[in-house]
Amino acid sequence: MFENQLSLFGENVKFINKEEDKSNEKQQAKKEDKKSNKKEVVSSASDKKESKKSVAAKTQKVFENIKEDWTIHYYSNTFQVTEFVNDIPESGISTEQLREEMAKEFFEMSRDRTFWDIDKENKRLFPRITGGAKG
């Protein structure tokens, strides 16, 4: 009588016995277990990627010999190093010290995102800001 009853949307409705319902639940549980195993594998691969990124970020080259006569070219602006660091010692400052001072004015210059292109002949510094980590 109810085997081919139509729903409000015109689709056939199939009635499931309690035994069929239990078997469907077992199959869904197996599928979920397989999915969770796959997710664990994916997360371990993403951990490897994150560790590689962190190693790459830690191995940025730091140039140590920046003195007062160097200029900074950031986007279309040109700055003197003395605009950010007032007291520069005889030995000079590092790009990390300069980045810290520039970050007070340019908030996007975080340690992980800032890389430096250096022209030693003309004494020019070009900070390059990259995108942050996704996710």
SS (H, E, C) the chain: CCCCCECCCCCECCCCCHHHHHHHHHHHHHHHHHHHHHHHHHHHHHHHHHHHHHHHHHCCCCCCCECCCCEEEECCEEEEHHHCCCCCCCCCECHHHHHHHHCCCCCCCCCCCEEEEEECCCCEEEEEECCCCCC
pTM for this prediction: 0.53
- Note down pLDDT in tens along the chain; length 135 residues: 555 665 666 566 666 666 766 777 777 777 776 655 544 433 334 444 454 454 444 456 777 788 889 999 998 899 999 999 988 888 899 999 999 999 999 989 988 889 999 999 999 999 999 887 775
pLDDT tens-digit profile of 46-76? 444 454 454 444 456 777 788 889 999 998 8
